[in-house]
Structure 1
Amino acid sequence: MSTKIELTFLVADDHPLFRAAVIQVLRESFADLRIVEAASASSLDAGLEGTPQVDLVLLDLTMPGTKGFSALLRIRGKHPDVPVIVISSNDQPRVIQRARQFGAAAFIPKASPPALIHDAIAQVLEGGSWFPPITVASSKEDEELAEKLAQLTPQQFKVLLCLADGLLNKQIAHELDLAENTVKVHITAILKKLNCYSRTQAAVLVKSLEPESRDLSN
């Protein structure tokens, strides 16, 4: 089960043991493979920015610095040409459907055997997609939310996540190393793009990114 092709994969998961297991499967499946690892939202951003050509991101939904589907949405907004495969232990139908709507090319449950992981990746690399069969209907609200969030710049997305954590402008400025006036400008732009009338409403919007059923856990 080996495919000779030069590729660069970014594996983002904050559990070292699972990350190592995925990497082992990848190296057994693809020859001449370069692996970039990430264990948080910040290292994910750094990996994407610092790597000349990333062919695929394998993304766990729960990492430090993320909220639900925020990492997926950030990647799709800033790196739309890079396909993202979500690998999660939360394989509830609603989670799978939202991953698809928010731009994932595939969804692989963490309990999947190596052969399935290989097949799903191969389909995505060929321009296709792979999702487990589900019966959840498509949500117009999720589609509209994804469109709104896609308008945000990466910096605005970071500010939005800080808002969701209940941080004040001064605290956001310190957290992101920005001038407080710059934070105010970002918040004004965020509220306009998301069609929100207050920072509280924007924070609730971020909260909606998190699944209602099972917690996103590794």
Structure 2
Amino acid sequence: MLALIVDDHVLIRDALRGVLGAFDDVSEIIEAATAADAERALDGTPGIGLVLLDLSLPDRDGLSLLKSIRSGHPGTSVVMLSASEDRAKMNAALEGGAAGFIPKSATREVMQGALKLIFSGGIYVPPEILTRPVTPPAAQPSPSALRATAKLGMTERQVDVLQLMMQGMSNKAICRVLDIAEPTVKNHVTAILRALGATNRTEAVVAASSLGLSVDDSS
């Protein structure tokens, strides 16, 4: 298997080479310092099966490049690397199709263990980040919007779910952000649609907007 390391720091690339060197399945390692270099490598080198991708690149956001890779090279596994141990960023990476999220602060042993899991078809999520709470990206709804939704019988948690729906998040993304089970999210969505008299998520978002609910309420 060919592996591509995408990071603008030479020392990081060298360290990752050492991590990948422990795997017999990795036959060749290619390096790229920018997103543009990475795209050229992917387009010009058939058979790249793994990309270790830095979240912060000098010429492009790593999450944006992740989306492009997953779209143009769906058979390639992408593992995000980050100096930040931010759970929201991890959620975004996993929702974007990453096979794992590895903090750069992880030891070589942890990285190799994570890659071993990924090579076997699993998804690596660092436990130390999972234990951190995540504040939903939607701001606190206005009092008037809360009163309107309360009259419809919606709970505060359902309002949280609705605001994330208004941002276009899937059930899987919502369950990660709110730290609740996906079946629970589905139940909330069903209750939201019923309360708003909507038959689908689009109608629910339109109805919520008419009530004065928005993703950036701050009053």
Range into which the TM-score falls when normalised by the shorter chain: 0.5 to 0.7
Deviation at 1:142, TM superposition (A): 5.8
Asked whether the equivalents of residues 53 and 62 of structure 2 are also in contact (C-alpha less than 8 Å), the reply is no
- Specify which of 53, 63, 74 is matched with residue 69 of structure 1: 63
Asked whether the equivalents of residues 81 and 104 of structure 2 are also in contact (C-alpha less than 8 Å), the reply is yes
Hey, what's the Cα distance between the residues in 1 that align with 2:89 and 2:101? Answer: 9
Give structure 1 stretches of 5+ with no counterpart: 1-6, 145-218
| TM-score normalised by length of structure 1 | 0.58
- Specify which of 54, 69, 78 is matched with residue 72 of structure 2: 78
Alignment match, 2:42: 48
Listed as ranges, the matches of 1:127-138 within 5 Å are 127-133=121-127, 134=130, 135-136=133-134
What RMSD, in angstroms, separates the aligned Cα atoms of the two structures? 2.0
What does the per-residue CA deviation read over 1:46-90, in whole Å, with 9 as the maximum and x for residues that have no partner? Answer: 111111101110000111221251111111111122110001111
Asked whether the equivalents of residues 61 and 71 of structure 1 are also in contact (C-alpha less than 8 Å), the reply is no
Hey, what's the Cα distance between the residues in 1 that align with 2:72 and 2:26? Answer: 27
3-state SS in 1 of match to 2:56: coil
3-state SS in 1 of match to 2:5: strand
| TM-score normalised by length of structure 2 | 0.58
More relative contact order, 1 or 2 (CA 8 Å, 6+ apart): 1
Listed as ranges, the matches of 1:60-139 within 5 Å are 60-133=54-127, 134=130, 135-136=133-134
What does the per-residue CA deviation read over 1:11-44, in whole Å, with 9 as the maximum and x for residues that have no partner? Answer: 0000011111111121134366200111111100
Give structure 2 stretches of 5+ with no counterpart: 137-160, 171-219
Runs of 4+ in structure 1 off by over 4 angstroms are: 137-140
Give the greater-gyration-radius structure (CA): 2
Between Structure 1 and Structure 2, how many residues are aligned?
A: 138
Hey, what's the Cα distance between the residues in 2 that align with 1:94 and 1:113? Answer: 22
